[in-house]
């Protein structure tokens, strides 16, 4: 830390992204990226757009917003595009949180939520999940607090239905409920239809996972036009050109080829269910996942040891050190061939081990 660093941030513990090592080629099952490339039209669209990089991007992202609005069946004024959904989440925390409007979220969820609260000096509370890692909605009914839920949750993969989330919207007319649907395309049900009936719901989506575009950095929010207007006030106070030209072009091509992604998501969901079954047969406890990853633990090996041994053998999975989940690993679903290697090596590592 330099002596110039603002005292306001000196205690900040930043988010730690999954490792992206460059030393050798790994089978990467650690950051929930798609094993499949973007749809065929994306590369061409990016190449063509690259000739116009002398010009700023459209701050209103009109073309992509309209295409997405049509795809999702909402008004273009209910949409805001962002530089990854992380940025959209940050805009939302800044827009709706302050000392009188704290946030609540589960103790085991996406690690960025507490970081945003700390950065923006918003008070927050982490509400414990049940021992089986499901969420007790009754914990969230007390009014006066904004809520953020990842649905499906990360890193557990467990999903709620819109019918379960709706009472939270009814019970919090004066607070915002943010539903982060980064993984919804892999088998859960979206809350987007509820945005037409509840002016306090913001749904957050990303092109990073189900649309194979993690490197392009494209996310979006869907909500009542007044919520979107608030987010725009914050966006235009930070970075009007938050989505660059190449990413806008890539997004537009991706939306035009929507069926390609639905096929990819179906393939990933199938591989996930096969992987979960194979892991259960090896003695793992696997949480019921609707995402593009599984969260699993084995009685004969600590989470960190399995992570380390797989890493030595060229396979990366994600281990999170938080004590409640230290026995687990989060395993991104890759292509079937990658999962075969992962399963074979895991079996090898477990050979002859007794329960700890």
Ligand X SMILES: *Cc1c(COP(=O)(O)O)cnc(C)c1O
| Residues forming the site for ligand X (CB under 6 A) | 32, 84-86, 110, 150, 154, 180, 182, 206, 208, 214, 219
Least CB distance to ligand X at residue 151 (A): 9
Least CB distance to ligand X at residue 288 (A): 17
Query: What are the structure tokens assigned to 243, written together?
Result: 């989505």
Q: Which is nearer to ligand X, 140 or 293 (CB)?
A: 293
Q: Which is nearer to ligand X, 110 or 198 (CB)?
A: 110
Least CB distance to ligand X at residue 283 (A): 27
Whether the Cβ atoms of residue 220 and residue 208 lie closer than 8 Å to each other:
no
Whether the Cβ atoms of residue 158 and residue 134 lie closer than 8 Å to each other:
yes
Q: Which backbone phi and psi does 104 adopt, to 5 degrees?
A: -125, 150
Q: Which is nearer to ligand X, 154 or 345 (CB)?
A: 154
Q: Which is nearer to ligand X, 298 or 330 (CB)?
A: 330
**Beta-bridge partner residues of 293:** 332
Strand 285-286 and strand 293-297: the pairing is antiparallel
Least CB distance to ligand X at residue 228 (A): 18
Query: What are the structure tokens assigned to 66, written together?
Result: 């309209």
Q: Which is nearer to ligand X, 106 or 303 (CB)?
A: 106
Q: How far apart are the first and last CA of the chain?
A: 41
Q: Which is nearer to ligand X, 146 or 206 (CB)?
A: 206
The set of long-range contacts for 122-127, using a CB threshold of 8 Å and a minimum separation of 24, is 122/93, 122/97, 122/98, 123/99
Q: Which is nearer to ligand X, 68 or 301 (CB)?
A: 68
From the list 334, 320, 185, the residue with the least C-alpha distance to 274 is 334
Whether the Cβ atoms of residue 325 and residue 108 lie closer than 8 Å to each other:
yes
Least CB distance to ligand X at residue 332 (A): 11
Q: Which is nearer to ligand X, 31 or 338 (CB)?
A: 31
Least CB distance to ligand X at residue 313 (A): 26
Whether the Cβ atoms of residue 296 and residue 287 lie closer than 8 Å to each other:
yes
Least CB distance to ligand X at residue 227 (A): 18
Spatial distance between the Cα atoms of 81 and 62, rounded to a whole number of angstroms: 10
Whether the Cβ atoms of residue 66 and residue 252 lie closer than 8 Å to each other:
no
Q: Which is nearer to ligand X, 200 or 210 (CB)?
A: 210
Query: What are the structure tokens assigned to 131, written together?
Result: 């021992």
Spatial distance between the Cα atoms of 63 and 54, rounded to a whole number of angstroms: 19
- Comparing every residue's Cβ against ligand X, the nearest one is 84
**DSSP class of 192:** G
Least CB distance to ligand X at residue 214 (A): 6
Least CB distance to ligand X at residue 88 (A): 8
Helices within 24-172 (DSSP H only): 40-49, 62-72, 84-96, 112-119, 162-171
**Beta-bridge partner residues of 180:** 150, 204
Whether the Cβ atoms of residue 123 and residue 259 lie closer than 8 Å to each other:
no
């Amino acid at each position: 830390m330099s002596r110039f660093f603002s005292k306001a941030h000196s205690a900040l513990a930043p988010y730690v992204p999954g490792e992206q090592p460059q030393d050798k080629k790994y089978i990467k099952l650690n950051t929930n990226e798609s094993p499949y490339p973007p749809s065929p039209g994306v590369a061409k669209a990016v190449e063509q757009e690259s000739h116009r990089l002398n010009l700023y991007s459209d701050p209103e992202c009109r073309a992509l917003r309209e295409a997405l609005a049509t795809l999702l069946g909402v008004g273009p004024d209910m949409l805001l595009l962002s530089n990854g959904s992380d940025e959209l989440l940050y805009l939302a925390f800044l827009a709706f949180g302050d000392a009188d409007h704290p946030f609540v979220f589960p103790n085991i969820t996406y690690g960025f939520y507490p970081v945003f609260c700390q950065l923006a000096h918003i008070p927050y509370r982490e509400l414990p999940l049940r021992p089986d890692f499901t969420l007790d909605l009754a914990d969230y009914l007390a009014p006066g607090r904004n809520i953020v839920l990842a649905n499906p949750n990360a890193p557990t993969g467990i999903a709620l239905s819109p019918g379960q989330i709706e009472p939270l919207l009814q019970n919090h007319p004066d607070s915002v409920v943010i539903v982060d649907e980064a993984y919804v395309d892999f088998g859960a049900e979206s809350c987007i239809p509820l945005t037409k009936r509840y002016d306090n719901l913001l749904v957050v989506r990303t092109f990073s996972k189900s649309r194979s575009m993690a490197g392009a950095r494209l996310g979006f929010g869907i909500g009542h036009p007044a919520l979107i207007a608030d987010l725009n006030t914050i966006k235009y106070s930070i970075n009007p050109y938050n989505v660059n030209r190449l990413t806008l072009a890539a997004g537009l091509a991706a939306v035009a080829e929507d069926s390609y992604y639905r096929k990819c998501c179906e393939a990933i969901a199938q591989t996930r269910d096969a992987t979960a079954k194979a892991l259960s047969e090896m003695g793992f406890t696997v949480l019921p996942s609707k995402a593009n990853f599984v969260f699993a633990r084995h009685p004969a090996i600590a989470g960190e040891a399995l992570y380390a041994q797989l890493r030595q053998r060229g396979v990366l999975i994600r281990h999170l050190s938080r004590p409640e989940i230290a026995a687990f690993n989060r395993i991104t679903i890759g292509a079937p061939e990658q999962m075969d290697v992962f399963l074979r090596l895991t079996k090898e590592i477990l050979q002859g081990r007794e329960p700890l």
